[in-house]
Chain A
Amino acid sequence: DTGVSQDPRHKITKRGQNVTFRCDPISEHNRLYWYRQTLGQGPEFLTYFQNEAQLEKSRLLSDRFSAERPKGSFSTLEIQRTEQGDSAMYLCASSWVQDSEAFFGQGTRLTVV
């Protein structure tokens, strides 16, 4: 296992388009997180799953954002009708629920033009 992987690493899209990101966690981890990070800021929590169940969504997450984790394995984060304010680094992390240490992927950098 090579750790948490995210795809794509970079995405440039036009305002109003939909984008989807994928995260493959460490295989034995049952918890998966999505964060957003903008320049000079710490990661902001967006949502997290335990197995396939989405346990919490941040108030930051508008209804244009949706995340899924079918079968409790990989996860997707979709942003509909992208806006320039969505430009950020989107980070995925995974962990064991019994151990709150999280392992992060390299992130997907989204630029909305």
Chain B
Amino acid sequence: DTAVSQTPKYLVTQMGNDKSIKCEQNLGHDTMYWYKQDSKKFLKIMFSYNNKELIINETVPNRFSPKSPDKAHLNLHINSLELGDSAVYFCASSQDFASTYEQYFGPGTRLTVT
């Protein structure tokens, strides 16, 4: 019974293409996140949505556009992919954005740009 799921698990694409990664959580949480883990395994937040509203937008190129159609889904669309976009992208969720709640992570999407 998957709590936070992402599709696809692996994505290989060429430079210049546009791609999307989807995330769904069945925990009834209000807040969802996108994180990027680079080749050195360093994890950094990209975006956060609370009940479909953007609340965190880190310094991320505007080629990255998150979309939350409802509070159970947060998708990430990437335009004009570059080699440096190769990384593992993790989706996460928490009950809301208050400090008292743990974040639960999805299994990750490994994006390789060639």
A binds B: no
Give me the interface of A with B, judged by CB distance under 8 Å. Answer: none
